[in-house]
Amino acid sequence: MSPTPYYSADHCTIYHGDCREILPALGSVDLVMADPPYSLSVESDHENRRGRGTRRLNFFEGDTDWSEMTDTVTSAVALATRLAPAHYVWCGHRQFGPIVDVFEAAGFKTRFLVWRKACPVPAPPGVGWDSAAELCVYAFSSGRKWTPPTGTKCPNVIDADSYRHGQPGKVDHPTQKPPATAHIPITFSTDPGDTVLDPFMGSGTTVRAAKDLERKAIGIEIEERYCEIAAKRLAQEVLPL
């Protein structure tokens, strides 16, 4: 039985629920882009940091159990492997190896991307290294598309600033990605009219990017408040960058 959409308009559909329950009911798509919780949260809601104020380090429910969250993510990735010939999965350092293993066990080839932040996020106390980069597993099999604009260089590094409070386009989500982290992979790996699926939709950066690029979009999100944020972003005629 097909799940009931939370939102559906202009070739964009949002489902509210656990992606592990919804993915088996979906048909094939052209590209899967996922940005799951990274298994980086800590038990306390706030920790002091350099400079003024505090920084929230407990991002998502269940993310403080790093092993369990990694298992959740890899099980969802495994369910999605049958749906598309190409996948991008942003992930934390604990998840990178297990996600690569899932794809390669399913017959995919794998590479990686890096998002390099123009303004690194200050490190939690005692860590030492500021968060200046994030990892993405790129997995592909036969039938994948590779469609970068003619003459475009294709380094596996995406340079883009991270969102900070009060910036134009910032929404109420603790780990909102900048548009470039979705726009570039979608442009390079799909054609207009193709369908892009994000099983960990969050605030809707991927589905909004797909719409802007004249692709169809499917998003799945377990938290209803983020479904509502994403639906509002999709309803906007112009996305603030």
Scanning the chain, the segments in alpha helix (DSSP H) are 19-22, 66-80, 93-105, 180-189, 205-212, 224-235
**How confident is residue 69, by pLDDT bands cut at 50, 70 and 90?**
confident
Question: For the domain 7-235, what is the CATH code?
Answer: 3.40.50.150
The vertex-120 CA angle with 88 and 53, nearest 5°, equals 120
Task: Kindly give the pairing relationship between strand 216-221 and strand 195-198.
Answer: parallel
pTM of the full structure: 0.84
171 pLDDT higher than 80: no
Segment 189-215 mean pLDDT: 96
DSSP result, 208-241: HHHHHTT-EEEEEES-HHHHHHHHHHHH-SS---
CB 117 within 8 A of CB 73: no
Place of tokens 């992606």: 19
Question: What is the rounded average pLDDT for all residues in the chain?
Answer: 85
Q: What is the pLDDT of residue 177?
A: 79
**How confident is residue 51, by pLDDT bands cut at 50, 70 and 90?**
very low
Counting residues of the chain whose pLDDT is more than 90, the rounded percentage is 64
Domain range list for the chain = 7-235
Q: What is the pLDDT of residue 167?
A: 57
Q: What is the pLDDT of residue 42?
A: 54
φ and ψ at 55, to 5 degrees?
-125, 130
221 vs 128, residue with greater confidence? 221
Counting residues of the chain whose pLDDT is more than 70, the rounded percentage is 79
The vertex-159 CA angle with 213 and 163, nearest 5°, equals 80
Segment 177-191 mean pLDDT: 93
Q: Angle of helix 93-105 relative to helix 66-80, nearest 10 degrees? A: 30
The vertex-145 CA angle with 140 and 149, nearest 5°, equals 125
